[in-house]
Amino acid sequence: MNTMTPLKSLDEWEEDLLERYPDPTSIATSKDTEAYRDYDHTVKDSVREFYRLNHQHQTYDFVLAKKKEFLSFDKKKMPVWDAFQFLNQLVDDSDPDTDLDQFQHLLQTSEAIRKDGHPDWMVLAGLLHDMGKVLCLFGEPQWAVVGDTFPVGCAYSDKIVFPEFFALNPDATDPRYNTRFGVYSQGVGLDQVHLSWGHDEYIYQMVKDQLPEPALYMLRYHSFYAQHREGAYDHLMNDHDRDMFRWVNLFNPYDLYSKNPVPPDWTALRPYYEDLVAKYLPTHLSF
């Protein structure tokens, strides 16, 4: 298709877009793509320790308790910009690829998406995708907020990063939870599956009434590397999940490969993003 020809409908545009997944080498500007998510040779001891705690404590019961605690959104009401201001103080202990604060990472992601001409709701997904890390504002430890996500209530896949640490998790020896399906069934659909608790589910639930479904899949599953990179949980997905994961796969290279040590120019970018946030979100969000 000639990409310069105007498309006749959104459906036609989406079909064309999904045929043109981004080239990671065009997004990665600070190092080779093979050097990202290098957990085998990372020099950050904090990353390994993070995943030890994460894998030890992310149990089925823990996730249900955190959903009950936080998804009532009764902790605080504030503008999205106050949440971003908090992210200026946060560096993700689970991430071996960046030492910048989280707001800079969000801007790098959204700007890479905007540069490639994707719709503004996808740019906004890039800006929002890690905003759920404000959970740390409420005293949550990073191991309960960031990092790769994975299903709980069934066997932990060896495709999850640092799978050896699941030996410390009590669910790994609990017959209710340590089989391939656990509490689920074949093709149950990811909407019925509890993933490890963290910022993905939190931001998804916060804005699920404001953004189109492809953006919501990007937000909810962008850290679910065991599936969108390894395909480890195909048996829990339904056909709708598989269709929508095309959007997760489209989003992921921007999240991963846009990281570089040079922060964006927020002063120049601010008017665009203030207008974008105002277009889709209310003036205050409930946290």
For residue 240, the SS3 value is helix
**Can you give the residue range of the structural domain that contains 177?**
43-282
Residue type present at position 33: T
Residue 46 CB contacts under 8 Å (≥ 6 apart), including other chains: 93
Q: Is residue 14 part of a domain?
A: no
Query: Tens digits of per-residue pLDDT, 35-81?
Result: 444 545 544 677 888 899 999 999 999 999 999 999 999 999 999 99
Q: What are the pLDDT digits (tens) for 77-129?
A: 999 999 988 887 765 454 444 455 778 889 999 999 999 999 999 999 999 99
The reply to whether 221 falls in a domain is yes
* Whole-angstrom distance, CA of residue 145 vs CA of residue 64: 14
262 occurs within a structural domain: yes
Q: Which whole-number Å values give the CA distances from 190 to 27, 99, 206, in the listed order? A: 29, 32, 18
Residue 129 lies in a domain: yes
The reply to whether 57 falls in a domain is yes
**What's the whole-number mean pLDDT along residues 128-132?**
94
| 264 pLDDT above the threshold of 80 | yes
Quickly list DSSP for 163-194: GGGGGG-GGGG-TTTSSSSTT--TT--GGGSP
pTM of the model: 0.82
Instruction: Please give the Cα distance from 67 to 50 (Å, whole number).
Output: 21
Mean pLDDT, the chain, rounded, equals 85
SS3 call for 78: strand
The number of distinct structural domains making up the chain is: 1
pLDDT single digits (tens) 162-189: 999 999 999 999 999 999 999 999 999 9
